[in-house]
Structure 1
Amino acid sequence: MSRRLGLGSFTVGLVAAVLAGLVRTTTPLSNTAFPDTDVLLAKGLSALAVVLVTYGIYRLVMSVFVARITDRRRAHDIRNVLRLTVGLIALVGVLGAFTDQWLGVLVSFGVIGFAITFALQQPILSLIGWVYVVIKRPYAIGDRVTIANVSGDVAEVDFLVTTLWETGGTLSTNQPTGRTVTVPNSLVLSSEVVNHGALFDRIWTEVPVQVAYETDIQFVRDLMVDTAEAELGDETRAAIQRYRHRLDESPLELDVPESPTVNVSQSESWVVLTLRVLVPPRGAQSARNRLYERIFERLADHPDRVSFPVGRNR
């Protein structure tokens, strides 16, 4: 459908261009009542030809080339760049058709550009931000990001704004809220951007468990690691290998453990054992829930070796 629409628009545009040429070269239609009718008609047909031809080219490129790109993120970026380029070409063409001064139109764009820069600073900065996003790729469609304290999954990256499907927000967990948030692209240039899956498809998350000082700490540590291995073992090992591979390609030198780890810290009334594991960015909360449930189930089976603060599970 898109290809047919493109071919049809392109063909009609060529017909309009031919008719404009015929009007310019044939007997003038002007009369005393409506002077310069032939000139206005020729300019109108020329402008229509420019619009239809550029639109037809856009549709043909989208259907023939862009539609074959399997990477949704790259296809989205190419579509936006193509829309902007074709739109500018069409605008210059229409103005040139009516003024017959193509060079003057381009020069006027430069002069007008200086004049409106101060009046449209934020939109211009947002457009520059969009160019930065397309070139440097701090995030792309589908990434979970935090931009200026707003978290969500990137749903759309337009010329001026980025649309996020919000996560967290008023919820106590980092899960979708069902709302969308539009963030000006200019914030990419002036605020920090956190991409929760930029390095690869996993992030570190922690599962803290509080136990009393009378607890067999080493036993609980081993139990937590075994539980994580049973729940996420194969996925975690594969993710760690990918993580190490990505680190090898970077200048970073980090020590990456081969399995989940447990860190121990003290407070006034209990000991906190924090399990650290790799999970998908969008599945962090569900993974923590599973681990909490399984860990406490297993701890409850060993009351002789595990004690909880105030004598109850917390």
Structure 2
Amino acid sequence: MIQETLTSLFSGNQLLSTLILVSVFVLVRKLVEKLLRGREDFIPDERRRLISWSRNALVLVLVVGLILIWAPALRTFALSVTAFLVALVIATKELILCITGGLLRTSTGAFSVGDWVRIGELRGEVVDQSIMSVTLQELEPPARGHRFTGRTVTLPNSVFLTTNVVNENFYKKFVYHSVEITIEREDDPTETARVMEAAMTAAIVDSREVAQRYNQLIRRRSGVEMPAIEPRIRMVTTNEARIRIGVTAFVPTGDTERIDHEVMAAVLAAAHESRAEKTCPSGT
């Protein structure tokens, strides 16, 4: 009740009330200090504390008076500012999310321009990044190779708040590549595996030394034991009870398609030769 009365008295003309209050404050402060100091050259500690207390009390009164004078205007201003900020946040929600995602990406150092990354189901090389977005040169899925599709994809940074990012930059030069072949029941799986391993070894012989050094570099930087670069054979059965043979090696990323063709050609040639021998009588 007292606050409302004082507010109504002062808020009629806020600028005039402020000038009167400040003037009264200055006059009262000087008068109080003059009375407390007196005419003595030396002021005792008790009187010094009293002067300091009076100054603080007068400042408090001044602050309370200014709040009472400007309370209605401050209330209206606060409501306006709050409404404006709420509207601004709603209107710029995506913008804020993009900026936040960009700060998260930058602070974590997830990748940089030139890296190969996988973001969700999308895979590509980073060609540009900004506070708002990231631009990728799209790559084919690993199962289909590592060639560029020719498409450029721009992603908002907001995706980094909800989507996992995998940095595949180590596989930009070399990759663990597998070639798999399903053979017929009458074919010899041991012989097919031997042919595939020999073909894979011959296909990567020129790059073996570089692959070994690059494999060791990845091991040192990541601190993780990497598989050997030599071809490895594995055999599994399919739902049709046929045997699927796979050979995996550490190969140059750009040579995966060539290696696929060479291994498959070697297997087909061996299978053709084997069947030709079976159909021809011995000694003919």
The TM-score range, normalised by the shorter chain, is 0.5 to 0.7
Q: Deviations over 1:51-85 (max 9, x none)?
A: xxxxxxxxxxxxxxxxxxxxxxxxxxxxxxxxxxx
1:305 and 1:202 mapped to 2: Cα distance? 39
Determine if the alignment matches structure 1 residue 183 to structure 2 residue 147. Answer: no
Determine if the alignment matches structure 1 residue 123 to structure 2 residue 90. Answer: no
The number of aligned residues is 194
Determine if the alignment matches structure 1 residue 284 to structure 2 residue 256. Answer: yes
In the TM superposition, residue 271 of structure 1 has moved relative to its aligned partner by: 0.7
Partner of 1:197: 169
Determine if the alignment matches structure 1 residue 266 to structure 2 residue 237. Answer: yes
1:282 and 1:130 mapped to 2: Cα distance? 31
2:149 and 2:159 mapped to 1: Cα distance? 22
1:174 and 1:241 mapped to 2: Cα distance? 21
User: What percent identity do the matched residue pairs reach?
Assistant: 20
Partner of 2:269: 297
Secondary structure at the residue paired with 2:275?
coil
Partner of 1:166: 138
2:205 aligned to which of 218, 221, 233: 233
Partner of 2:192: 220
**Greater C-alpha radius of gyration:** 2
Q: How does 1:87-102 map to 2 (within 5 A)?
A: none
1:127 and 1:222 mapped to 2: Cα distance? 55
Does structure 2 conserve the Cα–Cα contact (< 8 Å) formed by 1:197 and 1:281?
A: no
TM-score (ref. length: structure 1): 0.51
Hey, which bits of structure 1, 4+ residues long, moved more than 6 A?
none
In the TM superposition, residue 246 of structure 1 has moved relative to its aligned partner by: 2.6
In the TM superposition, residue 183 of structure 1 has moved relative to its aligned partner by: 0.9
Does structure 2 conserve the Cα–Cα contact (< 8 Å) formed by 1:199 and 1:246?
A: no
Cα distance 1:139–1:181, how it changes in 2: closer, same or farther (>3 A)?
Answer: same
Listed as ranges, the gaps of 5+ residues in structure 2 are: 1-81, 279-284
1:129 and 1:238 mapped to 2: Cα distance? 38
Partner of 2:113: 141
In the TM superposition, residue 286 of structure 1 has moved relative to its aligned partner by: 4.3
Q: Deviations over 1:249-284 (max 9, x none)?
A: 444345x22411111011234211011122344553
1:210 aligned to which of 182, 193, 196: 182
In the TM superposition, residue 161 of structure 1 has moved relative to its aligned partner by: 1.1
Partner of 1:16: none
Secondary structure at the residue paired with 1:218?
helix
Secondary structure at the residue paired with 1:265?
strand
